[in-house]
């Protein structure tokens, strides 16, 4: 019997196939124990079958419980569901984990090492929206009803604290807006405080109102460790934390559920540079390193992180977004040499 772990592989759209191909070359070099089941989603799937998220792709993830995904272009226009939201719901991927760490010294911010844990299923992204007509204007008022559940608040905060324990972190910051959204965010804070008590003496806990947190993140980002927050705030703050370390080319993301997990770059399909051999492959490569950690191959994940550091920091092989002139293939070749 094979010891390989089956993984659904979705190359994705735009720069997706280029950066996934680069990652696969590196995973092959270190003999990562994965067996790929290649499936389509996004525009590639629309072109092939008219459906941006074919049932076959969903079935594959149900079977493997693991997916490595390139960015997907969500087709503009009515009739298409948001693919990412559908995937999160279908597989109950409740925790979105986005680590951001300073790699190249001399940037605007030094010593950033923040892991943002975002609740992925509830809040305002439950998309319970509608218009209320007034007079002859059918869209006079727009409303959106967000919700949080006690169970989900508890589960996401607990995930963040467990993550902190497992990864030798010292502090978790609960980020909320309970001063204004007294029930929606109040419940998150109430449950968060209860969970924090269970980790007293092991992991410190702080609380921040989201607007104050945004300001502190650009004034003294080095004081943050693990952040846990609700869906909308997490979406916004995780782009902010990506900006702190020089943009979207580097940060990976994991979407974790009880029965499945999906790993991807934080960035999108970058249509402006697609097919030009210019894309930075590091975010999706780091996502594959998170997947290696998830399957308990921390040794291989560490080799990837060390090779990235050698190539980008010491040898200064950098793509254009990092201020260099290396192509995707130059960087892939350098990484393969560094990791072999």
Binding site for ligand NAI (CB under 6 A): 15, 71-74, 84, 248-249, 264, 267-273, 279-280, 283, 321
Q: Token digits for 126? A: 């439950």
Q: Token digits for 151? A: 């169970």
Taking the complex as a whole, how short is the minimal distance between the CB of residue 132 and ligand NAI, in angstroms? 28
Compute the distance between CA of residue 124 and CA of residue 107 in angstroms, rounded to an integer.
34
Nearer to ligand NAI, 19 or 292 (CB): 19
Taking the complex as a whole, how short is the minimal distance between the CB of residue 316 and ligand NAI, in angstroms? 17
Compute the distance between CA of residue 244 and CA of residue 100 in angstroms, rounded to an integer.
8
Question: Helix (H, G, I), strand (E, B), or coil: what is residue 150?
Answer: helix
Compute the distance between CA of residue 318 and CA of residue 90 in angstroms, rounded to an integer.
37
Compute the distance between CA of residue 301 and CA of residue 252 in angstroms, rounded to an integer.
13
Please state, as a whole number, how many other Cβ atoms lie within 10 Å of the Cβ of residue 166. Answer: 9
Taking the complex as a whole, how short is the minimal distance between the CB of residue 149 and ligand NAI, in angstroms? 25
Nearer to ligand NAI, 72 or 317 (CB): 72
Taking the complex as a whole, how short is the minimal distance between the CB of residue 273 and ligand NAI, in angstroms? 5
Of 292, 283, 223, the C-alpha closest to 5 is 292
Taking the complex as a whole, how short is the minimal distance between the CB of residue 27 and ligand NAI, in angstroms? 17
Cβ atoms of 191 and 154 closer than 8 Å: yes
Nearer to ligand NAI, 112 or 279 (CB): 279
Nearer to ligand NAI, 74 or 241 (CB): 74
Nearer to ligand NAI, 146 or 253 (CB): 253
Taking the complex as a whole, how short is the minimal distance between the CB of residue 14 and ligand NAI, in angstroms? 7
Taking the complex as a whole, how short is the minimal distance between the CB of residue 78 and ligand NAI, in angstroms? 15
Please state, as a whole number, how many other Cβ atoms lie within 10 Å of the Cβ of residue 27. Answer: 22
Nearer to ligand NAI, 76 or 219 (CB): 76
Quote the strand ranges of the chain, DSSP E: 5-10, 34-38, 66-69, 95-101, 113-119, 129-134, 137-144, 171-176, 204-209, 226-229, 252-256, 261-265
Nearer to ligand NAI, 245 or 273 (CB): 273
Cβ atoms of 178 and 189 closer than 8 Å: yes
Taking the complex as a whole, how short is the minimal distance between the CB of residue 313 and ligand NAI, in angstroms? 18
Compute the distance between CA of residue 75 and CA of residue 71 in angstroms, rounded to an integer.
13
Give the nearest residue (CB) to ligand NAI: 268
Taking the complex as a whole, how short is the minimal distance between the CB of residue 20 and ligand NAI, in angstroms? 11
Chain-centre distance for alpha carbon 113: 15
Nearer to ligand NAI, 71 or 221 (CB): 71
Please state, as a whole number, how many other Cβ atoms lie within 10 Å of the Cβ of residue 202. Answer: 10
Cβ atoms of 147 and 189 closer than 8 Å: no
Nearer to ligand NAI, 97 or 283 (CB): 283
Cβ atoms of 156 and 192 closer than 8 Å: no
């Amino acid at each position: 019997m094979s010891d390989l772990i089956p993984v659904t592989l979705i190359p994705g759209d735009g720069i997706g196939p280029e950066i996934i191909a680069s990652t696969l070359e590196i995973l092959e070099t270190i003999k990562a124990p994965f067996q790929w089941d290649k499936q389509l989603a996004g525009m590639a799937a629309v072109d092939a079958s008219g459906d941006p998220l074919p049932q076959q792709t969903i079935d594959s993830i149900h079977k493997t419980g693991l997916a490595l995904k390139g960015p997907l272009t969500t087709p503009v226009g009515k009739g298409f569901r948001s693919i990412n939201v559908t995937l999160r719901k279908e597989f109950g991927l409740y925790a979105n984990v986005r680590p951001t760490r300073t790699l190249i010294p001399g940037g605007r911010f030094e010593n950033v090492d923040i892991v943002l844990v975002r609740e992925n299923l509830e809040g305002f992204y439950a998309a319970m929206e509608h218009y209320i007509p007034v007079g002859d204007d059918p869209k006079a008022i727009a409303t959106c009803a967000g919700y949080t559940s006690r169970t989900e608040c508890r589960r996401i905060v607990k995930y963040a604290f467990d993550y902190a324990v497992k990864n030798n972190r010292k502090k978790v910051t609960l980020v909320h807006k309970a001063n204004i959204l007294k029930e929606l965010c109040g419940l998150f804070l109430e449950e968060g405080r209860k969970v924090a008590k269970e980790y007293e003496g092991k992991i410190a806990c702080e609380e921040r109102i989201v607007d104050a947190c945004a300001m502190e993140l650009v004034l003294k980002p080095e004081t943050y460790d693990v952040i846990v927050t609700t869906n909308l705030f997490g979406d916004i703050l995780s782009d902010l934390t990506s900006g702190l370390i020089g943009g979207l080319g580097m940060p990976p993301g994991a979407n974790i559920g009880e029965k499945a997990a999906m790993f991807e770059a934080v960035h999108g399909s970058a249509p402006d540079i697609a097919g030009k051999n210019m894309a930075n492959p590091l975010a999706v490569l780091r996502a594959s390193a998170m997947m290696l950690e998830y399957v308990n191959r921390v040794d291989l994940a560490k080799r990837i992180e060390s090779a990235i550091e050698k190539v980008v920091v010491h040898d200064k092989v950098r793509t254009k977004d990092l201020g260099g002139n290396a192509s995707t293939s130059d960087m892939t070749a350098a990484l393969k040499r560094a990791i072999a």
